[in-house]
Amino acid sequence: MPLPRSRKKLCIFGDSHIGCLKIALTEKAFTTRRALDFEFWGADGPRFRALDLVGSTVVPRPEVLKTVLMVNGNGKEILDPVEFDAILFMAARVRSQDFFTPLLHRMQQADGFMSNAVFRQICQDWLPRNRSYRAAKAMAATKTANIILAPTTFTTEGFENRLSDKQRGAFTASPQDRDRIWQELTRIAADDGITLIPQPEETVVNGCMTRKEYTNTMATGDIDPVHRNPKYAALLLGKVVDTFYS
């Protein structure tokens, strides 16, 4: 059996959303006194779809290997949980907005009542439909690394027009409404050996949107509707580290 490492190793896995975490660490927007080393692994945009689950490892197809190695910087061609103490699935196409918005909308309707059993089943059905969640579950089953999941954040405020008229009831959702969903998803993930970190409540506005102060600004100067900035990354990393050492 290998000797315990004096420094813990945490791998941040995901798509383009890992960028804000990398900047936060590079620019020291987030620091920790813990003996913890960070490593990145993944691919952006459509390339993320070319990362395949093989057993309990994630393996890139040949056409994206160069991108993965560039992101990683340490020569790791395969993401294997045995090599880390923890792996954070950052966004990784687990799109919370697509799930929360219609459910929150329904919860605001006069005829939107659903039994606890139906509510639980809706949540239970959603998580495994996400390919990255299935990968996280497979890794968690090895019991070699702590597996942590932080789903994508809600769309940035100011882009409410991206929601259809049939979903706009979500804008009036309360913190209690969101918490009910997060609690159920967290419970389901825990049953699969995964620690799910909800979007921090202080970053949410208008029922199901992300506050502008946590959003990324694109090179054009425009507000990015989906990606977050180092301020958000530092907040999330603090929760990840606290979770890891709790």
Cα–Cα nearest to 18, from 150, 177, 126: 150
Tens digit of each residue's pLDDT (9 = 90 or more) over 20-46: 999 999 999 999 999 999 999 999 989
pLDDT at 1: 41
Q: How far apart are CA 115 and CA 170, in angstroms?
A: 19
- Element housing 90 (H / E): strand 86-90
As a whole number, mean pLDDT of residues 55-70 equals 98
Residue identified by tokens 């987030």 is 30
DSSP 43: -
Q: Is the pLDDT of residue 102 over 50?
A: yes
Tens digit of each residue's pLDDT (9 = 90 or more) over 162-212: 777 778 889 999 999 999 999 999 999 999 999 999 999 999 999 999 999
Residue extents of the structural domains in the chain? 8-245
Q: How far apart are CA 242 and CA 236, in angstroms?
A: 10
What's the sign of the alpha-carbon dihedral 103, 107, 110, 115? positive
pLDDT at 112: 73
pLDDT at 189: 98
Joined tokens for residue 178: 């969101």
Q: Amino acid identity of 193?
A: G
Contact 132/89 with Cβ under 8 angstroms?
yes
Instruction: Fold for 8-245, please state it.
Output: Rossmann fold (3.40.50)
Whole-model pTM over 0.85: yes
Torsion of CA 232, 236, 239, 244, to 10 degrees: -150
